[in-house]
């Protein structure tokens, strides 16, 4: 019992520090007087906390504000280049790496390719190698890293941080967190890739001032990250957002989950390519598509842009089914925004009208009138960037 007050004091101190950091982040710059008024802390307590945050390098003084009578107040701001974090997005054949500083400024974005079938140990060693190279090239201090986070295309058990399953990586019940902490020697966080993209949108993207939104990722699979009242919604087991397995056609294609006609079998990159190459094997050819020659994803988008009817039809069909999913989300969660990201950014200019019109037609008119459908600015880098924000967000009490 004797230790409880001291523990409570430490907790309150950290809570107050986080509150002050978050207020400054949201407002850009604040004076000590403004912080005192916003937090309800006494000027003495506020001064003590900000002095500690300046000493530790989280804040710095930057110029003067407008006077309200008397001396101009000294303004406080998040100190850039003081602390860093790194995010790793592990895909089937490539790893996206992003480094950001505590202010949310993106310092490094890299893409490393590898062969299909990367193991947990190989992924961790590759991440460590990339981080070491970045630190050397950018002359960063490794001790100033708040931590790292791994974005994975699968289900994560929030109670253990173990990956329950990541089918596209052939990982089942693996402990990436422990292995990474041993090698990288810093705090490690594990998060689903769609959740990471949603974090990216909320922290530095289009949803910075939006509390209720859903971020849909289109890649080899399809997933969603959900924010409700400004906080991530994970569900009971941490697997909320598996919209790739919404059944949009019960008599449709077989899905790896065991059902037929899942959204993923119509709108994921993998299945769009599968459909295109089936058509080519059946004899389809055009000015752009050569007979019996398989095409890759970038070619499919390029040919659609040039006017190839098959490629454009496939992308439009994908957008229509994504529109169905957006309508389900609008009706069920009543969000302010639905953001479509990852590979969708590459072809969004061709199909966004189809997606939006379908969603607004299928959704109920009232919730549809309150929602806006947007395309992510970050594309394939969103999950790595969101992962990099996870250790940073901890400083702000998130």
- Grouping H, G, I as helix, E, B as strand and the rest as coil, residue 396 is coil
The ranges of the chain annotated as CATH 3.30.420.40 are: 84-203+382-395, 213-377
> Which residue carries 């061709």 as its tokens?
350
pLDDT averaged over the chain? 91
5 pLDDT higher than 70 = no
- Grouping H, G, I as helix, E, B as strand and the rest as coil, residue 205 is coil
361 pLDDT higher than 70 = yes
Which CA distances in Å does 349 have to 212, 222, 306, 337, 346? 25, 19, 13, 18, 8
CATH architecture of 4-78: Orthogonal Bundle (1.10)
CA–CA distance, 159 with 135 (Å, rounded to integer): 32
- At residue 221, the pLDDT reads 87
2 pLDDT higher than 60 = no
Eight-state DSSP code of residue 260: B
Q: What is the pTM (predicted TM-score) of this model? A: 0.90
Q: Is the dihedral of CA 314, 315, 319, 325 positive or negative?
A: positive
4 pLDDT higher than 50 = no
Q: Cite the beta strand spans of the chain per DSSP E.
A: 30-31, 59-64, 74-78, 84-90, 94-101, 106-113, 145-152, 155-157, 162-166, 171-174, 188-192, 213-218, 222-228, 231-233, 337-342, 372-375
* pLDDT band for position 370 (cuts 50, 70, 90): very high
1 pLDDT higher than 50 = no
For range 248-253, the mean pLDDT: 86
Pick from 305, 396, 309: nearest CA to 349: 305
Tokens of 34: 């403004």
**Angle 142-81-194 from CA coordinates, rounded to 5°:** 80
pLDDT in tens, 54-80: 999 999 998 776 766 667 888 999 999
The ranges of the chain annotated as CATH 1.10.10.10 are: 4-78
218 pLDDT higher than 80 = yes
Residue 228, judged by CB atoms within 10 A of its CB (0-12, 13-18, 19+), counts as middle
Asked if 112 contacts 138 with a C-beta cutoff of 8 angstroms, the reply is no
The DSSP line for 275-292 is HHHHHHHTT---SSSPTT
pLDDT in tens, 149-174: 999 998 888 888 899 988 888 899 99
- Grouping H, G, I as helix, E, B as strand and the rest as coil, residue 125 is helix
CA–CA distance, 308 with 303 (Å, rounded to integer): 5
CA–CA distance, 88 with 86 (Å, rounded to integer): 7
Pick from 41, 365, 96: nearest CA to 217: 96
For range 38-53, the mean pLDDT: 91
CA–CA distance, 330 with 222 (Å, rounded to integer): 17
- At residue 272, the pLDDT reads 95
226 forms beta bridges with 214, 233
> Which residue carries 């710059």 as its tokens?
29
Pick from 98, 257, 298, 254: nearest CA to 168: 257
CA–CA distance, 202 with 374 (Å, rounded to integer): 13
CATH topology (fold) of 84-203+382-395: Nucleotidyltransferase; domain 5 (3.30.420)
For range 11-25, the mean pLDDT: 88
86 forms beta bridges with 99, 148
- At residue 49, the pLDDT reads 92
Phi-psi region of 293 (alpha: psi -120 to 50; beta: other; left: phi over 0): beta
Enumerate long-range contacts of 132-136, CB under 8 Å, 24 or more apart: 134/86, 134/97, 134/99, 134/108, 134/110
* pLDDT band for position 324 (cuts 50, 70, 90): very high
* pLDDT band for position 236 (cuts 50, 70, 90): confident
6 pLDDT higher than 70 = no
CATH topology (fold) of 213-377: Nucleotidyltransferase; domain 5 (3.30.420)
41 pLDDT higher than 70 = yes
Enumerate long-range contacts of 287-296, CB under 8 Å, 24 or more apart: none
112 pLDDT higher than 70 = yes
* pLDDT band for position 259 (cuts 50, 70, 90): confident
């Amino acid at each position: 019992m004797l230790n409880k007050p001291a523990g409570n004091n430490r907790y309150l101190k950290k809570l107050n520090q986080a509150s002050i950091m978050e207020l400054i982040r949201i407002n850009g710059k604040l004076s000590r007087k403004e912080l005192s008024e916003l937090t309800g802390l006494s000027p003495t307590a506020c001064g003590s906390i900000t002095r500690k945050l300046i000493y530790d390098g989280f804040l710095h003084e930057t110029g003067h504000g407008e006077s309200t009578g008397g001396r101009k107040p000294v303004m406080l701001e998040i100190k850039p280049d003081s602390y860093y974090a790194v995010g790793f997005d592990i895909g089937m054949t490539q790893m996206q790496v992003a480094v950001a500083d505590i202010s949310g400024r993106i310092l490094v974005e890299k893409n490393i390719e590898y062969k299909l079938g990367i193991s947990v140990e190989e992924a961790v060693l590759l991440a460590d190698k990339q981080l070491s190279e970045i630190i050397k090239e950018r002359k960063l201090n490794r001790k100033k890293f708040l931590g790292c986070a791994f974005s994975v295309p699968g289900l994560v058990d929030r109670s253990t941080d173990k990956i329950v399953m990541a089918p596209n990586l052939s990982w089942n019940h693996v402990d990436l967190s422990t292995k990474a902490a041993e090698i990288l020697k810093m705090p490690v966080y594990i998060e689903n890739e769609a959740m990471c993209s949603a974090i990216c949108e909320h922290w530095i993207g289009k949803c910075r001032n939006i509390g209720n939104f859903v971020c849909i990722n289109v890649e080899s699979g399809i997933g969603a990250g959900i924010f409700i009242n400004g906080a991530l919604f994970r569900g009971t087991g941490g697997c909320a957002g598996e919209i790739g397995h919404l059944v949009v056609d019960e008599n449709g294609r077989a899905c790896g989950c065991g059902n037929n006609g899942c959204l993923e079998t119509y709108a994921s990159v993998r299945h769009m390519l599968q459909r295109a190459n089936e058509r080519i094997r059946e004899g389809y050819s055009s000015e752009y598509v050569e007979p019996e020659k398989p095409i890759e994803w970038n070619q499919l988008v390029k040919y659609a842009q040039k006017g190839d009817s098959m490629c454009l039809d496939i992308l439009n069909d994908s957008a229509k089914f994504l529109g169905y999913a957006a309508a389900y989300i609008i009706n069920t969660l009543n969000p302010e925004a639905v953001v479509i990201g990852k590979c969708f950014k590459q072809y969004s200019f061709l199909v966004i009208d189809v997606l939006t019109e379908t969603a607004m037609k299928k959704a109920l008119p009232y919730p549809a009138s309150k929602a806006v459908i947007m395309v992510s600015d970050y594309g394939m880098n969103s999950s790595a960037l969101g992962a990099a924000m996870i250790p940073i967000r901890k400083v702000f009490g998130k």
